[in-house]
Amino acid sequence: MIVKNDPIRVLLADDHAIVRAGIRQFLERAGDIQVVAEADDGEMAKNLIQQKQPDVAVLDIQMPKSSGIEVTRWVRVNSPKVGVLILTAFDDDPYVLAVLQAGANGYILKTASPADLIKAVRDVNDGKSVLDTSVTQKLLSQLSHPKESSPVEALTSREMEVLVLVAKGFTNKAIGTQLGISDRTVQGHLAHIFGKLQAGSRTEAVMRAVSLGWISQSVGNITEE
């Protein structure tokens, strides 16, 4: 008598419904994968992961309320048996490094084929690490031939204080209260931080600082304003 294995239970989190629908269709065509829940923001993903305890959580990086990186950190602490596969359009080094440092089991781009995505889910479920081929080649190339570029301008001690509080999830107002400065001054420090790190958001600034080793990836959650 042949015993049929249970399907791989997947949670799918992406803030675009049409993207989720397409990914779900690809995954469930495989026959051994079942999407048990969908989330359109990071906080919903955390709640559903806690409720459903899927085998694999497939997460986008850029989501409202909590990013895929923040959800990954949460999973590693609260549901360590859940495998995390990041499925994203971003292949920038800071994103890749931050995700891996957060504890993701895999990183695959949305340009991947359905077959590659299905294989990645199966591999993560089997406890294997997965990294998109193009991302792997890019990282290896950088390790072999580091770019000759001017170093990132160092942050002042005050800017580092602001950035650490940003990483801990403090709002501008809370940072101002903590440091005894005005909201406007906090905004000025953030503008300088963004410029030095070539970042377009609080999340990106923190991820770049993590990739540079300036702050720990375990500092906390990032709140966008």
Structure confidence at residue 223 (pLDDT): 47
Residues 123 and 33 in one domain: yes
Structure confidence at residue 91 (pLDDT): 65
132 half-sphere exposure, CB direction, 13 A CA radius = 23
Among 144, 170, 192, which residue terminates a domain? 144
Show the tokens assigned to 101.
């440092």
Q: Is residue 162, in this structure, part of any structural domain at all? A: yes
Q: What is the CATH number of the domain that holds 166?
A: 1.10.10.10
With 90 as the cut, is the pLDDT of residue 37 above it? yes
Instruction: Show Cβ contacts of residue 132 under 8 Å, excluding neighbours closer than 6 positions.
Output: 91, 107, 108, 109, 112, 116
Residues 137 and 166 in one domain: no
- DSSP-derived 3-state class of residue 34: strand
Q: Is residue 55, in this structure, part of any structural domain at all? A: yes
Domain limits for position 106: 8-144
Q: Which residue has better confidence, 37 or 112?
A: 37
Residues 166 and 101 in one domain: no
Number of domains in the chain: 2
Instruction: Show Cβ contacts of residue 9 under 8 Å, excluding neighbours closer than 6 positions.
Output: 34, 36, 52, 54, 55, 56
Residues 196 and 99 in one domain: no
pLDDT in tens, 46-99: 999 999 999 999 999 888 888 888 899 899 889 989 999 998 887 666 667 777
| Cβ neighbours of 93 (radius 10 Å) | 14
